Amino acid sequence: MTRKEAPPGSVAGGRQRMTQWQQGDVLANGIRIHYYRTGGDGPPVVLCHGFSDNALCWTALARELETDYDVVMVDARFHGDSEVPRQAGDPSPDMAADLIGLIDALGLDRPVAVGHSMGASYVFYAAATYPDRLRAIALEDPVWFDPPPSVPEKEMADAMQRRTDERRAQIARYQTASFEDLLASCREEHPTWDDETRELFVRAKQQLSPRILDGAIVHRASWRALLAKVSCPLLVFTGDPSLGAIVTDPVYAAAEGLYPAMERAAIPGVGHHVRYENPEPYTAAMKAFLARIAG
- C-beta separation of 11 from 40 below 8 A: no
**31-37: strand order across its sheet:** 2-5, 22-28, 31-37, 70-74, 44-48, 112-116, 136-140, 234-238, 263-266
Strand partners, 138: 114, 235
| DSSP code at position 66 | T
Q: Which residues of the chain have pLDDT under 70?
A: 1-19, 88-89, 215-221
Round to whole Å and give the CA distance between 276 and 42.
25
CATH of domain 2-293: 3.40.50.1820
The predicted pLDDT at position 190 comes to 96
Q: Which residues touch 202 (CB under 8 Å, ≥6 apart)?
A: 179, 182, 183, 186
Kindly give the residue spans of alpha helices, DSSP state H, lying in 12-150. 16-19, 59-65, 91-106, 118-129
The predicted pLDDT at position 9 comes to 41
**Is pTM, for the whole model, over 0.75?**
yes
Round to whole Å and give the CA distance between 143 and 227.
12
Round to whole Å and give the CA distance between 115 and 134.
13
Round to whole Å and give the CA distance between 97 and 10.
28
- C-beta separation of 122 from 48 below 8 A: yes
Q: Which residues touch 71 (CB under 8 Å, ≥6 apart)?
A: 37, 38, 44, 45, 46, 47, 58, 62, 65
Round to whole Å and give the CA distance between 160 and 147.
12
- C-beta separation of 52 from 178 below 8 A: no
* pLDDT tens string 118-170: 999 999 999 999 999 999 999 999 999 887 777 777 777 778 888 888 989 99
The predicted pLDDT at position 71 comes to 98
